[in-house]
Structures are given as structure tokens and as C-alpha cells.
Amino acid sequence: MKQSYATLHAVSHSDHSRSAVRQHYARIAAGSRSFHEADSSTLSASSTTSGNLVPVSVYQNNMSELAYLLRLLKTHSSSQKWITLIAPPSNFCLSLFQQAGIQASQIRIARPTATYDAAALMQKAMASDTSSAVIAFGDFHDFEQASMRSEDQRDSAKSMFAQGFVINGLPEHLH
């Protein structure tokens, strides 16, 4: 039987804690061509986003944010740009993305080195014009500064830069 990633919502969300991922998905579903066509007042109203960086909280009984993220990534997989994964867990498997309809050839993985830590890799990936989305793994606050520095480097052509996501709490059975 085929696995479904659109699981039931085990945790209720108030209007204040409504997922930024869901807001982005709603804009895409409504016909917005890119993440950057979003109403800036909507983005600033969300306390969980930091500019172009969106937290994706995954926890044991609620995988809905991950499901929304995979749908968003599927809509952007038709572009000629990469989907870049920053510092995925060592045992992470791309099958989750492939099951969502994203080709493995469209995904590149960047791992931290002695020269570049994960935040620096995220900053470089978001500031370049080679990725449609950049997904980091870890704590949102570790990547928040990189996102802000990346925004400072931008010029007025917002559509050239990638949307960033930080996945926190990915369960072991999904690696």
C-alpha cells in the first residue's frame, strides 16, 4: 500500500501559530507563481518566519508541515534550479522526496566542512541563483542569521533568490 504523507492533524493550531509552510502552500495553490509574490504583510504577521526563512516543525504525531513542504517543493521541481539540502542527517534518504514526485537529479546535498558551517552553506545557497528552494536540517535559530545576511546581499530582483526552510525534529524512521 502506498504511504500517504497528508496525515491527520494531531495537534491543533491557533491562528497565532498557523504554519508559515501552510501559508506559502496556500499562496502557491491560489496561483502565485513564486514564494516572492507573497503579500509582505502576511509574511511580517507571522512570528515564525524570518524573511525568506520558514521553520518546518516535524514531530511524532504530526507530519502535516512536512507534507505541505513536499507539495511546495513539487511545485518548484519543474524549474531548472536545484532543491538544495543543507546538512541532512547522515542516514537521510532521498526516497521521501522521490515519493513526492521530485527527481533525485534535481536535488543536491551540501554538507558542512571545516571551511563552511551549515549556516554559511545556507547563506551561500540562498544568495545564489542556482536553487529554487534551500532546506536545512537543525534548529531554526541557528540559520536565522544566515537568512538575514542573505537578505542584506539581495538587490531588488527578489525572484532570483531561493526560499529557505529549516526542518526541525525529523523522526528517525524518515531518514
Q: How far apart are CA 77 and CA 75, in angstroms?
A: 6
| H/E run at residue 95 | helix 95-99
Residue 127: what pLDDT? 86
| Domain 20-174, CATH number (from 3.40.50.300, 3.90.25.10, 3.20.20.70, 3.40.50.2300) | 3.40.50.300
pLDDT tens-digit map of 8-66: 333 334 343 456 666 766 665 565 555 445 444 444 334 455 567 889 988 777 788 88
pLDDT at position 121 is 94
pLDDT at 163 over 70: yes
**How many whole angstroms separate alpha carbon 91 and alpha carbon 113?**
17
Rounded Cα distance, 83 and 51, in Å: 19
Can you give the pLDDT at residue 27? 63
Cβ atoms of residues 51 and 140 within 8 Å: no
Contact present, 54 and 48 (Cβ < 8 Å): yes
For position 42, what pLDDT does the model report? 42
DSSP state of 35: G
* Coil vs helix vs strand at 159: helix
- pLDDT tens-digit profile of 79-135? 889 999 999 998 888 898 999 999 999 999 999 999 999 999 998 998 888 999 999
pLDDT of residue 20: 64
Residue 101 vs residues 71, 72, 105, 144, 154: alpha-carbon distances, Å: 9, 11, 12, 29, 31
How would you class 35 by CB atoms within 10 Å of its CB: exposed for 0-12, middle for 13-18, buried for 19 or more? buried
pTM: 0.70
Give me the sign of the Cα torsion angle 159, 83, 141, 116: negative
Structural domain boundaries of the chain? 20-174
